[in-house]
Each structure stands twice: as structure tokens, then as C-alpha cells.
Amino acid sequence: MNNSYHTVNPIIRIKENELLSKDTFEQLIQAPNFEKVAEILAPTVYGKYLGENFQYDFEKSLNQELVQTYGELIEIIPNPSLIWLYTMRYTIHNLKVLTKADKIKENYDYLFIPDGFFTMDELKAAIETGESSTLPVSVVKSIQEVRDYFEESHILQGIDVIYDRFYLSEQYHLAKSLKDEAILQAIVATIDLKNIMTTARCLLQKRSYAFMSAVISEYGSIDKELLLDFSTRPLSELIEFLLQSDYRDLIGPALSSEEIDFSRLSVLTDNYLTTILQVAQTQAFGPLPLLAFLNAKDIEVMNLRLIIVGKRSGFTKEAIYERMRTLYDL
């Protein structure tokens, strides 16, 4: 597998040069108005999206940029599953919002985020019929499970539970199939962090053991039963456990003796994946440079969206800085 990427990675290195620098992001945050923002972005790959009043539909432009990037990479890599490993989060998001829209007869099309693989119409058709000749069998099975669930219960949160469980399971098995130990380790770590966040939220919401058992994945390195043991214990005991775990240095800044800052924890989780993938910069072979670039592009788009929406909504510079994800270290 490693040798099959020897012609792809030079292209990835070229595309890395198109990423925005930390200095450019600093200029964007400091920009006093959208005219200055446009001036800064004009010579970049985002220059083509800077029409009049671009700030009001820039989120759509960013989605276009991601779709174009995914499309270009899918055409050149030996195993497109590597890209879906990263963009599957958007597939799951789309399944959630489109399924809920179907169940409550609302239009949530505006919440659709392109994943590079499955169109809105494909997902809608599968959700409506429970069948598809174009979606992976595993995706169709998760849709069918949701349909069966909704015949017995009309609680919308159950939709999230089923799709989230599918997501973590699919991530793990897809990572294993790629036969790259670094990728598998990264996925297991992200499952651990997702499980930690889920466990904490369940304790705050006083969820039952049965509910927690349904939403916590067994594919992390932290034993699932160990996390379930906190179902009847106070949050402070979970925090004490986390501060003694292998993740203490990573998530410690989001923890106090009695509380968890979930917003901060989410940022730290995203930053951790970026840190793991930084090692890809020293690799000439294998799939990691591609995955690192996908992460870098996603973080870039996330931060651009934050800056544009933040400035449009009157966020202070400090509030934007707090929400910024760590950039790829070019």
C-alpha cells in the first residue's frame, strides 16, 4: 500500500503550498472589514469566490471548495476509501439531518455538507425507501436500522444514537482494512475522545446505563465497561479518572474538579488529530500525507468559516481566537 502512493504524494506536497499560512489567518482576524478580508483572500485559491457581498454565502463557497478538493483527490489516489475515512463525518451529519427532515416533514437541505461521495438525492432516496444500489451496504443497513427503530419509537435522538454507533464502528473497521498502524492509532484515539465526551454528557443528562451502553463505542482503547461504570457516579469521579488517564495532558485544559468545558474539549480533540498527522510531513511514502492534507484543508475551511461568520455576527477577535483550530504547521 505504501508504494502505491509514491506518485500521489508529490501532488499532495504541491497542494499543501496552496494552504493559507498562519500569517494570512492572523491578517484575516485583524481585518477591520470585509473589503480587507477580500483583499487578503484575492490571491489565494479562495479568490474565485469573492463576489459582491461574498460574506453572506461564503459558507456555500467553502463547501464548493471542499467538493472540488475531494473530487481531485478521488481521481488520483489508489484507494478512495482513505478519503471517506476522513469525510465520513459529513456523511453521518447528512444522514442525521436528512432523516430527521424526512420524519418531521421539514426541509433541511441547507444543512447538507458535501462529503465527496454521496449526493443529497442518493441519501434522500435511501432514507425514503430503505434501499439503494449506489450507497455502501453498511450505510444502507444503518438507514434500515433507523427505519425499524422509528416504527417503534418517535424520539428523534435515537436517530443520532444509531448513526453515531455506525460511524465509530465503520471508522474502526475501515481503518483496519487500510492496514496502516498510524492511521488505526489515530482513529482509536479519536474514538476514545468521542467516548469521553459522550460519557460526560450522559452523566450531566443523567442518562441510564442502557442508554450509555448504546452510545459508547467498544472500539476505543479505554474499556467500554470501565466508562459504563461511571453511569451511577458523579461527574467529579469521571474527571478524576480522566486526570489520571493517558489523555490527561491533552484534555486537562478543558477539565476542572467539577466541570468539563465541552467547547474547549472539542477544540482540543480536533487539535490532537492535527498533531498526530503532523508526522506525515516527514514521510515520502504511504497514505498519511494525504490524510494529513485532508485534515489541514478541513481545518482551514473550518477556521475560514469561523472568521467570516464571526465577523458577520460581531464576534470579538478574542472570541474568534478561542474557537480557532490549530493550523497545519507549514
For 106-150, the pLDDT digits (tens) are: 999 989 988 989 999 999 999 999 999 999 999 999 999 999 988
Amino acid at 98: L
Per-residue pLDDT for 95 more than 80? yes
What does the pLDDT read at residue 330?
A: 52
Domain ranges of the chain: 1-77+302-330
Q: What is the pLDDT of residues 81-94, one digit of tens each?
A: 889 988 999 999 99
Bridge partners of 260? Answer: 255
Helix (H), strand (E) at residue 108: none
Whether the per-residue pLDDT at 65 is higher than 80: the answer is yes
Task: Output the pLDDT for position 267.
Answer: 85
Query: What is the four-CA torsion angle of 69, 72, 75, 77, rounded to 10 degrees?
Result: -60
The span from the CA of 238 to the CA of 236, in Å, is 5
Q: Is the pTM of this model over 0.75?
A: yes
Q: What is the pLDDT of residue 122?
A: 97
First CA to last CA distance, the chain? 26
Average pLDDT, the chain: 89
> Which option is the CATH number for 1-77+302-330: 1.10.760, 1.10.20, 1.10.132, 1.20.144?
1.10.132
pLDDT digits (tens, 9 = 90+) for 161-197: 899 989 999 999 998 988 888 888 888 998 999 999 9
∠ CA 111-117-123, nearest 5°, is: 55
Supply the DSSP symbol for 6. Answer: T
DSSP state of 257: S
Residue 283 pLDDT: 62
The predicted pLDDT at position 5 comes to 74
Q: Contact 287/1 with Cβ under 8 angstroms?
A: yes
